[in-house]
Amino acid sequence: MTLEIVKYGDPVLRQKGKPVPEITDEVRALAENMIETMREANGVGLAAQQIGLPVQLTVLDVEPTEERPSSMTVDGKPADIAEWMPMVLLNPVIELGAEKAEATEGCLSFPEITAEIERAVSVKAKGRLLDGREIEFEATGLLARALQHETDHLNGILFIDRMKSATRTVLAGRLKRLQRETRG
């Protein structure tokens, strides 16, 4: 079942997610519906806030391309990203690598708005998978960027907060309009 994606202007996007204490049938159904919703919208990630629930659950579906490569290392060994996608992460925590790079980013809660955002090139992530296993891994490239974008959502932080102020100024009119439309 696809869910309605919450747009910028809805206060739930600014709420920090509550930890998910246990993996119930309800959590599994939510994750499944979020994956379906993300795929239908051609997104690489979706956080629970974006379907109106402030909890620490995000889904990711990164398909690295030549243009936007990614790598993933699990337990010190290179992993095949395709085998891990789509990924459901509960209560994720990330640690940012020192090197930074700019790349174009969008967000399903901000239709048709993209901007260059500076992010860490690599991250160390840990969290819980839907089957209950704890996972610790390293990611680079598009996967690292998606993890930063989604864990930001889980903490009520949006990609507009990471934009350079000049970019935000350029987009100010469109952001205001979107906010108004959302609030009706």
Q: Residue 150 Cβ, how far from Zn ion at the closest point, in Å?
A: 7
Measured CA to CA, the distance from residue 162 to residue 164 in angstroms comes to 7
Residue nearest to Zn ion (CB): 107
Q: Residue 73 Cβ, how far from Zn ion at the closest point, in Å?
A: 25
Binding segment for Zn ion (CB under 5 A), chosen from 52-60, 90-98, 106-114, 136-144, is 106-114
Query: How many residues lie near Zn ion (CB under 5 A)?
Result: 1
102 has catalytic annotation:
no
Binding of residue 107 to Zn ion (CB under 5 A): yes
Of residues 32, 67, 118, 150, which has the active-site annotation? 150
- Kindly tell me which of 107 and 142 has the beta carbon lying closer to Zn ion: 107
Binding of residue 38 to Zn ion (CB under 5 A): no
Measured CA to CA, the distance from residue 41 to residue 110 in angstroms comes to 12
Query: Which residue, among 111, 163, 121, 118, has the nearest Cα to 142 in the 3D structure?
Result: 121
* Other Cβ atoms closer than 10 A to 66: 5
Q: Residue 87 Cβ, how far from Zn ion at the closest point, in Å?
A: 16
Binding segment for Zn ion (CB under 5 A), chosen from 2-10, 23-31, 105-113, 127-135, is 105-113
Binding segment for Zn ion (CB under 5 A), chosen from 99-107, 114-122, 139-147, 176-184, is 99-107
Active site residues: 150
Q: Which residues bind Zn ion (CB under 5 A)?
A: 107
